[in-house]
Amino acid sequence: MAETIFFNALREATDEEMARDPRVLVMGEDVGHYGGSYKVTKDLYKKYGDLRLLDTPIAENSFTGMAVGAAMTGLRPIVEGMNMGFLLLAFNQISNNAGMLRYTSGGNFTIPMVIRGPGGVGRQLGAEHSQRLEAYFQAVPGLKIVACSTPYNAKGLLKSAIRDNNPVLFFEHVLLYNLKEDLPDEEYLLPLDKAEMVRSGEDITIVTYSRMRHHVMQAVKTLEKEGIDPEVIDLISLKPLDMATISASVRKTHRVLIVEECMKTGGIAAELTAQIIEQCFDDLDAPPVRLSSQDIPTPYNGMLENLTIVQPAQIVEATKKLLDNRI
């Protein structure tokens, strides 16, 4: 075991997969000599050369389209979005090309590519750099969407994503890059379609993902002191949703709180709520509750920014309110 910082866990995964498979390459702005905005590809160009760590122009639509073409011809590209919000410029390439080509080619092409990078609400990055794009892409057929939340799952999930034969959107939260965790010395892979049971409990199911996992666990410390026993699930896979894990938990606790950093309207929690009601209606003792970000552009002002996203105290309050309405 060795203590590893989050961005180095991602770097290790990339390095190991590039060493294992010569078809793996990275492309994006400043991924080569600069080492990436958050140093996920630091010094890898020295090992693998400029063609496998390809510095691109500032043109997300162009290099994402190039990555789709590379995947069609047998390579396994990793596209780094310097900020995931910039990938809105490549929405057509991700949705109409990466997501659909396997189907529209009648299965003649697979699209083994990963699109990864930092997103979420940082600290005073402004509205255009505080995007949560997971809900934008959730309706696109043919994509897998993953949100990592710890150094351990970041490494295992990225290695699996690189090996997958489908396009994977791999969301990293900008405020998690400095997290530290002990990682195994031996190689490990994690499934892309499974949620993680973070904490087993009996009273209520709290479902979350990405940075909000850590806000939830802060809230759990307070709830435990008050004798409340929550079950916590980290979604990990945002598309497809692991409804088997979630449904089993709902059958046990009969109450669900969903905590997300995504916007409430049309967010991940909205889809999850619909599926829980469709599949678990008879097991619910109360309607599912969503805690989501405000439906506004993220303010630059730090105090206002904090008010737009869910805080641990709100999670504690919502949990108590759900439990106070026991039937």
60 as an active site residue: the answer is yes
Record the pTM.
0.95
Catalytic residue among 12, 17, 60, 231: 60
For the chain, the 3-state helix, strand and coil shares in percent, each to the nearest 5, are 40, 20, 40
pLDDT in tens, 87-99: 999 999 999 999 9
Mean of pLDDT over the chain: 95
pLDDT in tens, 255-273: 999 999 999 999 999 999 9
Contacts of 118 (CB under 8 A, 6+ apart): 37, 38, 81, 82, 83, 84, 172, 173, 174, 177
Catalytic residue among 129, 173, 215, 254: 129
* DSSP string across 123-167: SS--GGGS--THHHHTT-TT-EEEE--SHHHHHHHHHHHHH-SS-
* DSSP string across 165-207: SS-EEEEEEGGGTT-EEEE-SS-----TT--EEEE--SSEEEE
* pLDDT top residue among 128 and 256: 256
**Could you give the CA distance from residue 32 to residue 53 in angstroms, rounded to a whole number?**
5
Task: Return the axis-axis angle of helices 312-324 and 212-225, rounded to nearest 10°.
Answer: 50
80 as an active site residue: the answer is no
pLDDT in tens, 150-181: 999 999 999 999 999 999 999 999 999 999 99
The conformational region for residue 49 under phi > 0 = left, psi -120 to 50 = alpha, else beta, is left
Contact present, 193 and 246 (Cβ < 8 Å): no
